[in-house]
Structure 1
Amino acid sequence: MRNFLLSTVALAALAGQAFAADLPSRKEAPVYIAPAPIYSWTGFYAGVDIGGSWGNANLWVPGTIYTFSHNATNNGVIGGGFIGYNYQVNNFVFGLQGEFDGTGTGNSRYTAPALGLFNYVYQSSFNQNWIASIDGRLGYAIDRTLIYALGGVAWSDNSAHLNNLSTGAGWSTNNTRTGYDVGGGVEYAFTNNWTGRIEYRYYNFGTDNTTGIDNYLGNTFYRTTLTNNVVRVGLAYKFGAPEPVVAKY
């Protein structure tokens, strides 16, 4: 009888364990965490920038009566706006950008060129009024960070003046020159629409040979060379930013 009771208890215990195993689990399902969205750089944008320009402006005026040379730095503040379009393929970003910046760069100096029998004092000045460019951009995107290079054609509007303080003679000229620019930078998207950037740009406008009007000597040939090194920061707004793409695995 005792053995029968022990066997009954053992069978009941085993049956209870089997029934408990068949019951649904009371453990809560894990919370679903969506993958982080991937930012897209595709779209139109426009922005403003400001920075500093460091360059070199050389002015050379040869002549039978005098030979004048003005070689000085061309430093100042530069600022303006830009507009462009980006298209992203995987991590690569291709773009086209136009930019226009007013400049406060220029210099003025006094000098006494070698004049033989004469001993005149001259005041010379060179001013860069604005810089514009159309550039292609190529970048590599790491989500919201874009590392890019750019380059293209550039234009610079300049004015030069040379005044003979001894005789009152002098000449002036204003022209727009064509050159090129290259550079690179880093841009970061703070939101789906707003981005900030910092970049370096080198401009080279070559050597320009032209004629100035001298009210004492008549037409005077002169030659100028001009380069700029620019570091600036910018803020841009991306229009119609698409919703970030969610990576699917």
Structure 2
Amino acid sequence: MKTLLKATVATFLLLGSGAALSADLPSSKFLPLAPALPPLYSWTGFYVGGQAGYSWGSDRQGLFATAGRAPLGVSFDYRPSSFIGGAHAGFNYQMGSLVLGVEGDIEAINARDERGGLFRVQQDWQGSVRGRIGYAMDRFMIYAAAGAAFSSFEYGYFNPLAGFGETGRFSKTGWTVGGGVNFAMTDNLVFGLDYRYTDYGKFDHVGTSAYLGLTAEHEPSSHAMRASVAYKF
């Protein structure tokens, strides 16, 4: 009886120690490795593209006596507006989430307005060179931009008393500021949407014939919204 009891106890001890040893052994079954994450999109590189949108502006004209520049109390606002379209090119350099860049563009515009057949303004083209700073979230980027703007304005002045008119053409440099968003649909195709405000300051047209003795002061500025598509190299 004692011999049977000892044999039973020994059997349980062996079984228990074997289970403990097997529990300490490393498992031969492992979870599969997670797939590697795709690399984040890089905004670094040159790009070229086209853009189209709509521009609406304001141009205050005030009249002064040329001698002494005395205000005559006559002023009004032009409201030229137009669809716009053109081309742009630029370069971005990405550092982490920060994207620095420079961009230039040139556009055709057909902005015109007049007042009573006496005064008119027209603008046929515009361009800019801007620095950009953006924040990238993989293929999506928001940015702000500012720089120099260039354009040409033509003004017409008709004097019904004299029966003829005169014109003045001005090539102007101003400043522009705005911001937008870009989305890289593919590694090369980038879509964008932006807003921009442009101001060309104040300048004068001094009458030489129809309005001899009078000076017209102008203050053109504009707002614009654009959609764009570009190819990134």
Q: TM-score range by the shorter chain?
A: 0.7 to 0.9
1:156 aligns with 2:151: yes
Superposition deviation, residue 27 in structure 1: 5.7
Between the aligned partners of 2:73 and 2:154, the Cα distance in structure 1 is: 20
SS of aligned partner of 2:42? coil
Is contact 1:54–1:228 with CA below 8 Å preserved after alignment?
yes
Post-superposition Cα deviations, 1:85-143, rounded to whole Å, max 9, x if no partner, equal 00000100000111111111121231xxxxxxxxxxx5321011111111000000000
The match for 1:144 among 139, 142, 162 is 139
Of stretches 69-78 and 153-162 in structure 1, the one that deviates more from structure 2 is 69-78
Trace 1:11-30 onto structure 2 (pairs within 5 A).
Answer: 30=32
SS for the counterpart of 2:201 is strand
- Which structure 1 residue ranges, 4+ long, deviate > 6 Å from structure 2? none
Instruction: Tell me, yes or no, if the aligned pair for 1:185 and 1:200 is still in contact at 8 Å.
Output: yes
Q: Which residue of 2 aligns with 1:113?
A: none
CA contact (8 A) 1:87 1:94 kept: yes
Contact 2:149 2:174 in 1 (8 A): yes
Evaluate the alpha carbon distance shift between residue 170 and residue 146 of structure 1 in structure 2; reply closer, same or farther with a 3 A threshold: same
- 2:34 is equivalent to residue 35 of structure 1: no
CA distance in structure 1 between the aligned counterparts of 2:35 and 2:203, rounded to whole angstroms = 63
> In the alignment, what sits opposite 2:200?
205
What are the superposed Cα offsets for residues 218-238 of structure 1, whole Å, 9 maximum, x if unpaired?
Answer: 575321110000111100110
Give the equivalent residue in structure 1 for 2:221.
227
User: Who is 1:99 aligned against?
Assistant: 105
1:68 shift after superposition: 5.8
Identify unmatched segments of 5+ residues in structure 1: 111-121, 240-249
- 1:196 aligns with 191
Is the CA contact 1:136–1:152 (under 8 Å) kept in the aligned structure 2?
Answer: yes
Q: Distance in 2 between matches of 1:74 and 1:213?
A: 25
**How far did residue 67 of structure 1 move?**
7.7
> Deviation of residue 164 (structure 1)?
3.0
| Percent identity (aligned) | 33
Give the superposition deviation at 1:211: 2.7
CA change 1:203–1:217 in 2 (3 A) is closer
Q: For this pair of structures, how many residues does the alignment match? A: 226
Tell me the equivalent position of 1:57: 59
Q: Which residue of the partner structure matches residue 69 of structure 2?
A: none
Alignment of 1:233-244 (within 5 A): 233-239=227-233
- Residue of 73, 86, 90 corresponding to 2:79: 73
Which one-letter code corresponds to 2:84 in the other structure?
Answer: I
Question: For residue 84 of structure 1, what is the aligned residue in structure 2?
Answer: 90
Change (3 A) 1:95 1:179: same
Q: Tell me: CA distance 1:219–1:172, structure 2 relative to 1, closer, same or farther (3 Å).
A: farther
Q: Which amino acid aligns with 2:227?
A: V
Contact 1:70 1:124 (8 Å CA) reproduced: no
Distance in structure 1 (CA, Å) of the matches to 2:185 and 2:49: 14
